Amino acid sequence: MSTLPPGARIYLLLRRWVPVTVSHDVLEPAVADLQHEAGQADTPAQRRRIVVRGHLAIARALLLSIEPAGGVGIAIALAALCAMGALLLTAARAAHVDGRLLNSAILAPAMLAPFVLRVFGKTSARGLFAGSLLVAALTPILAGDVRHAVVALIVFAPIAAAAAIVAAPDGDGTVARRAVTAVSLGSGVATAALLLSRWPQSGALSADLATTPFYLMLFALLFAMTLLPPLLLARVFLARRAPLAIAGLVCSPAPLIVSAYIDHGTLAACLDALRHTPLSFAASSLPFAVGAIVVGWRLPPGRGVCPYEA
Protein backbone atom coordinates (compact mmCIF):
# COMPACT_ATOMS: atom_id res chain seq x y z
CA MET A 1 0.00 0.00 0.00
CA SER A 2 1.48 3.34 -1.03
CA THR A 3 1.62 6.16 1.52
CA LEU A 4 2.25 8.84 -1.10
CA PRO A 5 -0.48 11.49 -1.33
CA PRO A 6 -2.39 11.73 -4.65
CA GLY A 7 -0.50 13.48 -7.40
CA ALA A 8 2.88 12.90 -5.73
CA ARG A 9 4.01 10.30 -8.27
CA ILE A 10 3.12 12.43 -11.26
CA TYR A 11 4.81 15.41 -9.60
CA LEU A 12 8.04 13.49 -8.91
CA LEU A 13 8.05 12.14 -12.46
CA LEU A 14 7.27 15.37 -14.29
CA ARG A 15 9.29 17.90 -12.30
CA ARG A 16 12.50 16.46 -13.83
CA TRP A 17 11.20 16.95 -17.36
CA VAL A 18 9.20 20.15 -17.44
CA PRO A 19 10.88 23.60 -17.44
CA VAL A 20 11.42 25.19 -14.02
CA THR A 21 8.87 27.95 -14.72
CA VAL A 22 6.18 25.40 -15.65
CA SER A 23 6.96 23.36 -12.54
CA HIS A 24 6.74 26.48 -10.34
CA ASP A 25 3.71 28.11 -12.01
CA VAL A 26 1.58 25.11 -12.94
CA LEU A 27 2.69 21.72 -11.63
CA GLU A 28 3.37 22.56 -7.96
CA PRO A 29 0.19 24.62 -7.25
CA ALA A 30 -2.01 22.20 -9.21
CA VAL A 31 -0.71 19.15 -7.32
CA ALA A 32 -0.86 20.98 -3.97
CA ASP A 33 -4.50 21.98 -4.55
CA LEU A 34 -5.33 18.44 -5.69
CA GLN A 35 -3.83 16.97 -2.51
CA HIS A 36 -5.67 19.46 -0.33
CA GLU A 37 -9.00 18.84 -2.07
CA ALA A 38 -8.56 15.05 -1.88
CA GLY A 39 -7.83 15.37 1.84
CA GLN A 40 -11.19 17.12 2.34
CA ALA A 41 -13.19 14.36 0.62
CA ASP A 42 -15.89 12.69 2.74
CA THR A 43 -16.02 9.32 1.00
CA PRO A 44 -13.52 7.17 -0.96
CA ALA A 45 -15.67 7.53 -4.10
CA GLN A 46 -15.61 11.31 -3.84
CA ARG A 47 -11.85 11.19 -3.29
CA ARG A 48 -11.40 9.05 -6.43
CA ARG A 49 -13.45 11.53 -8.47
CA ILE A 50 -11.36 14.42 -7.17
CA VAL A 51 -8.11 12.63 -7.97
CA VAL A 52 -9.19 11.80 -11.56
CA ARG A 53 -10.49 15.34 -12.14
CA GLY A 54 -7.30 16.81 -10.66
CA HIS A 55 -5.04 14.71 -12.89
CA LEU A 56 -7.02 15.71 -15.98
CA ALA A 57 -6.66 19.37 -14.95
CA ILE A 58 -2.90 18.94 -14.49
CA ALA A 59 -2.59 17.31 -17.94
CA ARG A 60 -4.54 20.14 -19.56
CA ALA A 61 -2.56 22.83 -17.73
CA LEU A 62 0.74 21.25 -18.80
CA LEU A 63 -0.40 21.05 -22.42
CA LEU A 64 -1.41 24.72 -22.33
CA SER A 65 1.94 25.75 -20.89
CA ILE A 66 3.99 24.26 -23.71
CA GLU A 67 5.94 27.10 -25.30
CA PRO A 68 6.66 27.01 -29.02
CA ALA A 69 10.43 27.01 -28.51
CA GLY A 70 10.37 24.53 -25.64
CA GLY A 71 11.95 21.09 -25.84
CA VAL A 72 8.64 19.44 -24.95
CA GLY A 73 6.93 21.16 -27.89
CA ILE A 74 9.64 20.00 -30.30
CA ALA A 75 9.46 16.44 -28.96
CA ILE A 76 5.68 16.38 -29.37
CA ALA A 77 5.89 17.79 -32.90
CA LEU A 78 8.49 15.21 -33.95
CA ALA A 79 6.51 12.42 -32.31
CA ALA A 80 3.40 13.57 -34.21
CA LEU A 81 5.32 13.52 -37.51
CA CYS A 82 6.63 10.01 -36.77
CA ALA A 83 3.12 8.84 -35.85
CA MET A 84 1.71 10.36 -39.05
CA GLY A 85 4.38 8.60 -41.13
CA ALA A 86 3.86 5.28 -39.33
CA LEU A 87 0.12 5.53 -39.92
CA LEU A 88 0.68 6.24 -43.62
CA LEU A 89 3.17 3.38 -43.86
CA THR A 90 0.86 0.90 -42.14
CA ALA A 91 -2.11 1.93 -44.30
CA ALA A 92 0.01 1.72 -47.47
CA ARG A 93 1.23 -1.77 -46.56
CA ALA A 94 -2.29 -2.94 -45.77
CA ALA A 95 -3.48 -1.69 -49.17
CA HIS A 96 -0.55 -3.44 -50.95
CA VAL A 97 0.36 -0.29 -52.84
CA ASP A 98 3.57 0.12 -54.80
CA GLY A 99 6.95 0.98 -53.31
CA ARG A 100 6.80 4.65 -54.18
CA LEU A 101 3.89 5.17 -51.83
CA LEU A 102 5.78 3.36 -49.05
CA ASN A 103 8.80 5.59 -49.64
CA SER A 104 6.64 8.70 -49.54
CA ALA A 105 5.17 7.66 -46.22
CA ILE A 106 8.68 7.85 -44.76
CA LEU A 107 10.05 10.74 -46.81
CA ALA A 108 7.13 13.17 -46.50
CA PRO A 109 7.16 13.51 -42.67
CA ALA A 110 10.96 13.52 -42.61
CA MET A 111 11.09 16.34 -45.15
CA LEU A 112 8.44 18.24 -43.21
CA ALA A 113 10.54 17.96 -40.04
CA PRO A 114 12.98 20.86 -40.75
CA PHE A 115 10.02 23.13 -41.49
CA VAL A 116 8.22 22.13 -38.28
CA LEU A 117 11.40 22.53 -36.24
CA ARG A 118 11.85 26.06 -37.63
CA VAL A 119 8.30 26.89 -36.56
CA PHE A 120 9.14 25.62 -33.07
CA GLY A 121 12.18 27.88 -32.89
CA LYS A 122 14.99 25.42 -33.68
CA THR A 123 17.51 27.36 -35.70
CA SER A 124 20.75 25.41 -36.12
CA ALA A 125 21.30 23.47 -39.36
CA ARG A 126 22.60 20.52 -37.35
CA GLY A 127 19.47 20.50 -35.20
CA LEU A 128 17.24 20.53 -38.30
CA PHE A 129 19.29 17.73 -39.82
CA ALA A 130 19.17 15.60 -36.67
CA GLY A 131 15.41 16.11 -36.27
CA SER A 132 14.75 15.24 -39.88
CA LEU A 133 16.88 12.12 -39.68
CA LEU A 134 15.26 11.09 -36.40
CA VAL A 135 11.81 11.22 -37.99
CA ALA A 136 13.04 9.22 -41.01
CA ALA A 137 14.48 6.50 -38.77
CA LEU A 138 11.70 6.35 -36.18
CA THR A 139 8.80 6.27 -38.66
CA PRO A 140 9.50 2.70 -39.90
CA ILE A 141 10.42 1.56 -36.37
CA LEU A 142 7.02 2.76 -35.13
CA ALA A 143 5.42 0.87 -38.01
CA GLY A 144 7.23 -2.28 -36.79
CA ASP A 145 9.99 -2.44 -39.41
CA VAL A 146 13.49 -1.98 -37.97
CA ARG A 147 15.20 -3.03 -41.23
CA HIS A 148 13.58 -0.14 -43.06
CA ALA A 149 14.88 2.26 -40.39
CA VAL A 150 18.46 1.46 -41.39
CA VAL A 151 17.56 1.79 -45.08
CA ALA A 152 15.91 5.13 -44.32
CA LEU A 153 19.09 6.33 -42.60
CA ILE A 154 21.19 5.39 -45.64
CA VAL A 155 18.87 6.89 -48.21
CA PHE A 156 17.58 9.84 -46.29
CA ALA A 157 20.72 11.21 -44.61
CA PRO A 158 21.88 13.18 -47.70
CA ILE A 159 18.34 14.39 -48.42
CA ALA A 160 17.96 15.51 -44.80
CA ALA A 161 21.28 17.31 -45.11
CA ALA A 162 20.06 19.10 -48.26
CA ALA A 163 16.79 20.01 -46.52
CA ALA A 164 18.74 21.37 -43.54
CA ILE A 165 20.85 23.54 -45.87
CA VAL A 166 17.85 25.18 -47.46
CA ALA A 167 15.74 25.40 -44.31
CA ALA A 168 18.42 26.81 -41.98
CA PRO A 169 18.18 30.54 -41.18
CA ASP A 170 20.53 33.00 -42.86
CA GLY A 171 22.33 33.83 -39.63
CA ASP A 172 23.51 30.26 -39.10
CA GLY A 173 26.94 30.57 -40.73
CA THR A 174 27.69 31.08 -44.39
CA VAL A 175 26.00 28.96 -47.04
CA ALA A 176 29.33 27.26 -47.89
CA ARG A 177 29.95 26.42 -44.25
CA ARG A 178 26.43 25.04 -43.83
CA ALA A 179 26.81 23.00 -47.01
CA VAL A 180 30.10 21.46 -45.83
CA THR A 181 28.58 20.64 -42.44
CA ALA A 182 25.48 19.12 -43.99
CA VAL A 183 27.41 17.04 -46.56
CA SER A 184 29.81 15.78 -43.89
CA LEU A 185 27.01 14.88 -41.50
CA GLY A 186 24.81 13.35 -44.20
CA SER A 187 27.56 11.27 -45.73
CA GLY A 188 28.87 10.25 -42.33
CA VAL A 189 25.53 9.01 -41.05
CA ALA A 190 24.73 7.27 -44.34
CA THR A 191 28.11 5.48 -44.34
CA ALA A 192 27.75 4.44 -40.70
CA ALA A 193 24.25 3.08 -41.35
CA LEU A 194 25.44 1.24 -44.47
CA LEU A 195 28.30 -0.38 -42.55
CA LEU A 196 25.94 -1.30 -39.73
CA SER A 197 23.48 -2.93 -42.13
CA ARG A 198 26.28 -5.04 -43.67
CA TRP A 199 27.98 -5.82 -40.39
CA PRO A 200 26.13 -9.08 -39.53
CA GLN A 201 27.15 -10.56 -42.90
CA SER A 202 30.72 -9.26 -42.42
CA GLY A 203 30.54 -7.59 -45.80
CA ALA A 204 33.88 -6.39 -47.05
CA LEU A 205 34.47 -2.67 -47.38
CA SER A 206 34.55 -1.85 -51.08
CA ALA A 207 34.99 1.26 -53.20
CA ASP A 208 31.28 1.07 -54.10
CA LEU A 209 30.35 1.07 -50.45
CA ALA A 210 32.61 4.00 -49.67
CA THR A 211 31.31 6.13 -52.55
CA THR A 212 27.61 5.37 -52.08
CA PRO A 213 26.94 8.27 -49.69
CA PHE A 214 28.68 10.64 -52.10
CA TYR A 215 26.45 9.52 -55.00
CA LEU A 216 23.36 9.75 -52.81
CA MET A 217 24.33 13.31 -51.91
CA LEU A 218 24.87 14.13 -55.57
CA PHE A 219 21.48 12.64 -56.42
CA ALA A 220 19.79 14.71 -53.70
CA LEU A 221 21.39 17.92 -54.98
CA LEU A 222 20.47 17.14 -58.59
CA PHE A 223 16.94 16.38 -57.46
CA ALA A 224 16.72 19.83 -55.86
CA MET A 225 18.25 21.43 -58.97
CA THR A 226 15.39 20.27 -61.22
CA LEU A 227 13.12 22.67 -59.34
CA LEU A 228 15.42 25.65 -59.56
CA PRO A 229 14.82 26.84 -63.19
CA PRO A 230 11.06 27.41 -62.81
CA LEU A 231 11.61 28.96 -59.38
CA LEU A 232 14.27 31.34 -60.68
CA LEU A 233 11.85 32.36 -63.43
CA ALA A 234 9.08 32.89 -60.84
CA ARG A 235 11.49 35.00 -58.78
CA VAL A 236 11.58 37.62 -61.53
CA PHE A 237 7.91 38.37 -60.86
CA LEU A 238 7.53 37.51 -57.18
CA ALA A 239 9.04 39.61 -54.41
CA ARG A 240 7.80 37.72 -51.38
CA ARG A 241 8.62 34.30 -49.97
CA ALA A 242 5.08 32.93 -49.64
CA PRO A 243 4.18 33.27 -53.36
CA LEU A 244 7.58 31.75 -54.22
CA ALA A 245 6.82 28.77 -51.99
CA ILE A 246 3.42 28.41 -53.71
CA ALA A 247 5.18 28.58 -57.09
CA GLY A 248 7.43 25.74 -55.87
CA LEU A 249 4.35 23.71 -54.98
CA VAL A 250 2.83 24.33 -58.41
CA CYS A 251 6.09 23.34 -60.14
CA SER A 252 6.66 20.24 -58.00
CA PRO A 253 4.80 17.68 -60.21
CA ALA A 254 6.98 18.68 -63.20
CA PRO A 255 9.89 16.26 -62.53
CA LEU A 256 7.44 13.35 -62.13
CA ILE A 257 5.56 14.23 -65.32
CA VAL A 258 8.86 14.46 -67.19
CA SER A 259 10.02 11.09 -65.86
CA ALA A 260 6.65 9.54 -66.78
CA TYR A 261 7.02 11.04 -70.26
CA ILE A 262 10.46 9.48 -70.61
CA ASP A 263 9.05 6.11 -69.48
CA HIS A 264 5.96 6.14 -71.74
CA GLY A 265 7.24 7.90 -74.87
CA THR A 266 4.30 10.17 -75.71
CA LEU A 267 2.52 12.89 -73.77
CA ALA A 268 -0.88 11.18 -74.23
CA ALA A 269 0.45 7.87 -72.86
CA CYS A 270 2.09 9.72 -69.99
CA LEU A 271 -1.13 11.56 -69.02
CA ASP A 272 -3.05 8.30 -69.39
CA ALA A 273 -0.66 6.58 -66.97
CA LEU A 274 -1.01 9.45 -64.49
CA ARG A 275 -4.81 9.31 -64.75
CA HIS A 276 -4.84 5.58 -64.02
CA THR A 277 -2.60 5.84 -60.95
CA PRO A 278 -3.61 9.15 -59.33
CA LEU A 279 -3.00 7.95 -55.75
CA SER A 280 0.46 6.69 -56.57
CA PHE A 281 1.21 9.93 -58.44
CA ALA A 282 -0.02 12.08 -55.54
CA ALA A 283 1.98 10.04 -53.03
CA SER A 284 5.12 10.20 -55.15
CA SER A 285 4.66 13.96 -55.48
CA LEU A 286 4.63 14.50 -51.70
CA PRO A 287 8.41 14.68 -51.17
CA PHE A 288 8.78 16.76 -54.35
CA ALA A 289 6.06 19.15 -53.18
CA VAL A 290 7.56 19.58 -49.71
CA GLY A 291 11.05 20.02 -51.14
CA ALA A 292 9.80 22.54 -53.70
CA ILE A 293 8.02 24.61 -51.06
CA VAL A 294 11.18 24.68 -48.90
CA VAL A 295 13.40 25.67 -51.85
CA GLY A 296 10.88 28.32 -52.95
CA TRP A 297 10.69 29.73 -49.42
CA ARG A 298 14.46 29.86 -49.01
CA LEU A 299 15.24 31.36 -52.42
CA PRO A 300 16.26 35.03 -52.03
CA PRO A 301 13.21 36.91 -53.34
CA GLY A 302 13.57 38.98 -56.52
CA ARG A 303 12.57 42.56 -57.22
CA GLY A 304 9.01 41.52 -58.03
CA VAL A 305 8.67 43.01 -61.52
CA CYS A 306 5.01 43.20 -62.43
CA PRO A 307 4.54 41.59 -65.85
CA TYR A 308 1.88 44.16 -66.76
CA GLU A 309 4.08 47.17 -66.08
CA ALA A 310 5.23 49.21 -69.04
Partner 1 sequence: MAPPSLPQSERLVLELLLDGPDFGLNLVARSEGALKRGTVYVTLGRMERKGFITSEQEPQPAGAIGLPRRIYRVTPLGTRALRAWSNLLRALAPEPGA
Residue 26, interface with partner 1 (CB under 8 A)? yes
- How far is residue 258's CA from residue 84's CA, in Å, rounded to a whole number? 29
Pick the stretch among 33-41, 84-92, 93-101, 265-273 that binds partner 1 (CB under 8 A).
Answer: 33-41
What SS3 string covers 180-239? HHHHHHHHHHHHHHHHHHHHHHCCCCCHHHHHHHHHHHHHHHHHHHCCHHHHHHHHHHCC
Q: Contacting partner 1 (CB under 8 A), which of 9, 48, 53, 147?
A: 53
Confirm if 43 and 34 have CB atoms less than 8 A apart: no
Distant-in-sequence, close-in-space partners of 176: CB < 8 Å, separation ≥ 6: none
Residue 22 or 299 with smaller CB distance to partner 1 = 22
CB of 41 to partner 1, least distance (A): 13
Residue 25 or 263 with smaller CB distance to partner 1 = 25
CB of 54 to partner 1, least distance (A): 8
Angle at 149 between CA 147 and CA 154, to 5 degrees: 100
Residue 56, interface with partner 1 (CB under 8 A)? yes
Confirm if 41 and 5 have CB atoms less than 8 A apart: no
Q: Contacting partner 1 (CB under 8 A), which of 37, 172, 264, 282?
A: 37
Residue 32, interface with partner 1 (CB under 8 A)? yes
Distant-in-sequence, close-in-space partners of 219: CB < 8 Å, separation ≥ 6: 158
Residue 48 or 60 with smaller CB distance to partner 1 = 60
Angle at 34 between CA 33 and CA 38, to 5 degrees: 115
The number of residues that bind partner 1 (CB under 8 A) is: 28
Q: Contacting partner 1 (CB under 8 A), which of 14, 19, 41, 61?
A: 61
CB of 118 to partner 1, least distance (A): 22
- How far is residue 19's CA from residue 42's CA, in Å, rounded to a whole number? 35
Residue 67, interface with partner 1 (CB under 8 A)? no
Residue 57, interface with partner 1 (CB under 8 A)? yes
- Report phi then psi at 76, rounded to 5: -65, -40
Q: Contacting partner 1 (CB under 8 A), which of 9, 21, 52, 218?
A: 21
Residue 68, interface with partner 1 (CB under 8 A)? no
CB of 18 to partner 1, least distance (A): 12
74-93 per-residue burial string, b: 16 or more CB within 10 A, e: under 16: beebbeebbebbbebbeebe
Confirm if 122 and 115 have CB atoms less than 8 A apart: no
Residue 90, interface with partner 1 (CB under 8 A)? no
Residue 71, interface with partner 1 (CB under 8 A)? no
CB of 17 to partner 1, least distance (A): 17
Residue 64, interface with partner 1 (CB under 8 A)? yes
- How far is residue 218's CA from residue 106's CA, in Å, rounded to a whole number? 20
Would you tell me which residues interact with partner 1 (CB under 8 A)?
3, 5, 8, 11, 21-22, 24-26, 28-33, 35-37, 39, 53-54, 56-57, 59-61, 64-65
